[in-house]
Structure formats: structure tokens, C-alpha cells
């Protein structure tokens, strides 16, 4: 009896009635993180892989300086200021409390040194000096920060200063900080590289980067730490392994070590159990469709933008593209005209729906071709 059962199982495997490829990916629960809020997400696809309270209002502390850095980087990119430009240090900047790069009142410091002081040393004095240089006053700079936040879609954020010193009207969320991190990495990759520098010396004072992960994990290359009594210990970090980049945000832990361990756990979960692929590229042919009365009988279809997917490891082969095309398409066809869509399905989950667009324009065919197609359409 056992022998017959074994034979039946083998036959099932042979005829494809039982396939290991159809077994859904087994994903463990995300790590238990002792933090007020956190998330980990893929940079390219934007998929959030683990989260807790990501829309809860929190105090950003020195993570505020991410926006200061982003604005200064934009000003440099647009040519409004340059790295060699000298900044006169005001008394307000010099008197700033908390972390500092130790600039001196009345002296000039280059934009480059001040920017490194913000990114590496988290200098409150450097942040205020740059804010005043760009906007005249820190208060005006804070208004500019909020304009940038709105432009980036940071809908639950409000800044009142450039440093992150406590104020009841100075707040953000884990989701918004991840959005800002993406913008820094995407829009200013040259300056983003500075976030991996481990120490910076200014005025004969050497200070280390407070991001402990830079010493522990070679794949980590940023971004920013933060701490106040009310905010707790916070860290926005990013790591890249092979072609997969991940961003983590950890808010409100109880120490420097805790925020580093929490971020490492989130990175471990993301890289161990997920993979990211560029599934479609802009301009790549996805399929083609028949057309009527044109110079050609078919037109190639693709997608408008690159599509990145983050999926459980080993599941790429199980994604099913389901194409839906418009019927009886007639010319003229312009480039980028929507002629259908494609749905990407994994198990019972719809991963994405994209419009399929014409990759080329197709004009009318000759009179004979149009008459022939008209007759075919009539009988069809």
C-alpha cells in the first residue's frame, strides 16, 4: 500500500499536478523593534517592508539637518552658491548649543566646510550659518524648508528651525523622513557620498560621525543621527547590497546602541527575505498589438517609466503579467498613446498595473491598405 502511494506522489510531480514553484513564499514576521516608530523600505520600488506608527507625529531632533543639507545641495546645484564661497559666522550661529563644529564668530568659513560640519559632525552652529547665508535669517530659512517639504510630499512635517532643537511646532513622521532620505540620495548623489565619511576635522578638532553602522557594516553609507531628551535616539540609515538599496528610519529608541541595533535588524530582514528587480525599462517592448489601416499591421507597446518590484526572495519566476489590449485599434497612432495595460500578479496579490503605450507613431496606410482593412473589419 505504501509503495502505491509513493508511485502516485511521483506521478503527481511528473505531470505538474504538484509543483514546488507554486508554493507561496514564507515570510517571517519583521524583527521586534523597541522604538516609537520605524520603517524599512526599498529605495527603487518604494515598497515598505516593515513598519510601525509611520504616520505618528514625532520630534525629528538633528534629523532636521537632512532638510538643511538638501536645500544647501539644491542651492549649489542651481548655482546660487558654490562650495568655495565664504560664509561670515554670526554671533547667533557661534552661540548655538548642542552639537557643534566649533566655528568662531566674525570669521569666514567655506560652504564646503560648513556642509561637511552639518553632515558629519551634526553641527548646529554650521546649520544656522548656512541657513542665514542662504535666507538672511534662520526663520526665513525655516519657511523655505517647509516649502521644500510640501514639494516633496512630506505632508505631516513642519520645521521652525534648521537644527532640530526642540519646539512644539517642529515635527515630522517616519514616513516623511524616508521620503526626504530618498530625495537626498536621488537628487544629489555626489553630496550624499559625504554621509559615509566617518570623521571630520575643523579648527584642529576631530569629531566622529555618530552613525555607528558606518564602522560595522560596509554596505551602510548614510544618513543621519538625531537625539534630544524628548525625541530619544533616532537614526535614518541607508545600505546598498548588490543592486538593492534599502532605507530605514528608527525613531525614539533609548540609546545610541539601540538605534544602531534596530537599524541593523531592519536591514537584515529586508536583505535576507526580499529582492528588488527592474521588471520593465522605459522604452522596452513589453508586447505588440494588431492595428488597422496603418502603414504597418502591428505596433510595439511598452511602459512610460522604469518599473522596480520588491518581492519575496525566489518569487521572480512566479510573477504573471496579464495583458489587456484595446480592441480594433485604428490609425493614426501617436507615440505614447495608451493602447492597453498590463497587470503583474504574484500569487493573489496585484503588484502593479501599468498603461501600455505605443513606442512609435503609425500614420495611415495607402488607399488600398485602408480599403482592405475596412473590409476585414466589416466581416470581423
Using pLDDT thresholds of 50, 70 and 90, give the confidence band for residue 363. confident
pLDDT at 354: 96
pLDDT digits (tens, 9 = 90+) for 279-302: 999 999 999 998 867 778 889 999
- Candidate list 37, 62, 90, 248, residue with the active-site label: 62
- Candidate list 65, 162, 258, 263, residue with the active-site label: 65
Examine the residue annotation and report whether 90 is marked as an active-site residue of this protein.
Answer: no
pLDDT digits (tens, 9 = 90+) for 60-77: 999 999 999 999 999 999
| Cα three-residue angle 178-184-186, rounded to 5 degrees | 100
pLDDT digits (tens, 9 = 90+) for 191-243: 999 999 999 999 999 999 999 999 999 999 999 999 999 999 999 999 999 99
Whole-Å CA distances, 181 to 41, 199, 208: 11, 21, 21
Q: Is the model's pLDDT at 4 over the cut of 50?
A: no
Instruction: Tell me the CATH architecture of domain 281-379.
Output: Sandwich (2.60)
pLDDT at 161: 98
pLDDT at 136: 98
pLDDT at 373: 55
Which residue in the block uniquely carries the three cell numbers 519657511?
143
| Phi-psi sector, 98: left (phi>0), alpha (psi -120 to 50), beta | left
pLDDT at 18: 33
Using pLDDT thresholds of 50, 70 and 90, give the confidence band for residue 12. very low
Every domain of the chain and the residues it spans: 41-273, 281-379
pLDDT at 15: 34
pLDDT at 21: 41
Class of domain 41-273: alpha beta
- What CA–CA distance (Å, rounded) separates 52 from 179? 16
pLDDT at 330: 82
DSSP label at residue 359: S
pLDDT digits (tens, 9 = 90+) for 84-113: 999 999 999 999 999 999 999 999 999 999
- Candidate list 37, 45, 122, 258, residue with the active-site label: 122
Higher pLDDT, 1 or 189: 189
- pTM exceeding 0.85: yes
pLDDT digits (tens, 9 = 90+) for 333-353: 899 999 999 999 998 899 999
pLDDT at 291: 83
Higher pLDDT, 26 or 360: 360
3-state secondary structure of 139: helix
Using pLDDT thresholds of 50, 70 and 90, give the confidence band for residue 366. low
Examine the residue annotation and report whether 62 is marked as an active-site residue of this protein.
Answer: yes
Q: What is the helix (H) or strand (E) element at residue 326, kind and residue range? A: none
pLDDT at 189: 97
Using pLDDT thresholds of 50, 70 and 90, give the confidence band for residue 249. very high
| Cα three-residue angle 307-311-317, rounded to 5 degrees | 85
Q: Is the model's pLDDT at 10 over the cut of 50?
A: no
Share of the chain above pLDDT 70, in %: 89
Q: Which among 118, 67, 81 has a CA at the least distance from the CA of 96?
A: 118
Q: What is the mean pLDDT of the chain?
A: 91
Whole-Å CA distances, 290 to 30, 105, 333, 335: 47, 73, 12, 15
Q: Is the model's pLDDT at 6 over the cut of 80?
A: no
Q: Which among 128, 126, 147, 122 has a CA at the least distance from the CA of 61?
A: 122
Q: CB neighbours (10 Å) of residue 128?
A: 28
Amino acid at each position: 500500500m505504501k509503495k502505491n502511494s509513493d508511485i502516485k506522489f511521483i506521478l503527481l510531480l511528473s505531470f505538474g499536478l504538484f509543483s514546488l514553484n507554486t508554493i507561496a513564499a514564507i515570510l517571517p514576521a519583521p524583527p521586534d523593534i523597541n522604538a516609537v516608530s520605524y520603517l524599512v523600505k526599498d529605495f527603487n520600488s518604494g515598497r515598505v517592508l516593515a513598519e510601525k506608527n509611520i504616520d505618528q507625529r514625532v520630534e525629528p531632533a538633528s534629523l532636521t539637518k537632512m532638510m538643511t543639507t538638501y536645500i544647501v545641495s539644491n542651492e549649489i546645484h542651481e548655482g546660487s552658491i558654490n562650495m568655495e564661497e565664504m560664509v561670515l559666522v554670526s554671533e547667533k550661529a557661534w552661540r548655538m548649543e548642542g552639537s557643534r563644529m566649533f566655528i568662531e564668530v566674525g570669521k569666514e568659513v567655506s560652504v564646503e566646510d560648513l556642509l561637511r560640519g552639518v553632515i558629519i559632525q551634526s553641527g548646529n552652529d554650521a546649520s544656522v550659518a548656512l541657513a542665514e547665508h542662504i535666507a538672511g535669517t534662520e526663520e526665513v530659512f525655516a519657511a523655505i524648508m517647509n516649502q521644500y517639504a510640501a514639494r516633496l510630499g512630506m505632508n505631516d512635517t513642519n520645521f521652525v528651525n534648521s537644527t532640530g532643537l526642540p519646539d512644539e511646532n517642529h515635527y515630522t513622521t517616519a514616513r516623511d523622513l524616508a521620503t526626504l532620505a530618498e530625495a537626498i540620495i536621488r537628487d544629489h548623489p555626489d553630496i550624499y557620498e559625504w554621509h559615509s565619511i566617518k570623521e571630520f576635522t575643523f579648527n584642529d578638532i576631530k569629531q566622529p560621525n555618530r552613525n555607528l553602522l558606518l564602522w560595522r557594516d560596509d554596505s551602510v553609507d548614510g544618513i543621519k543621527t538625531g537625539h534630544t531628551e524628548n525625541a530619544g535616539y533616532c537614526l535614518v540609515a541607508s545600505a546598498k547590497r548588490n543592486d538593492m538599496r534599502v532605507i530605514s528610519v528608527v525613531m525614539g529608541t533609548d540609546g545610541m546602541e539601540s538605534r544602531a541595533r534596530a537599524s541593523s535588524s531592519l536591514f537584515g530582514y529586508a536583505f535576507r527575505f526580499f529582492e528588488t528587480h527592474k521588471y520593465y525599462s522605459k522604452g522596452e517592448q513589453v508586447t505588440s498589438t494588431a492595428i488597422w489601416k496603418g502603414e504597418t499591421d502591428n505596433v510595439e507597446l511598452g511602459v512610460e517609466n522604469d518599473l522596480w518590484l520588491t518581492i519575496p526572495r525566489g518569487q521572480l519566476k512566479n510573477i504573471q503579467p496579464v495583458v489587456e489590449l484595446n480592441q480594433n485599434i485604428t490609425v493614426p497612432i501617436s507615440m505614447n498613446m495608451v493602447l492597453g495595460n498590463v497587470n503583474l500578479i504574484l500569487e493573489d496579490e496585484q503588484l502593479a498595473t501599468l498603461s501600455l503605450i505605443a513606442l512609435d507613431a503609425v500614420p495611415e496606410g495607402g488607399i488600398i491598405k485602408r480599403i482592405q482593412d475596412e473590409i476585414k473589419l466589416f466581416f470581423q
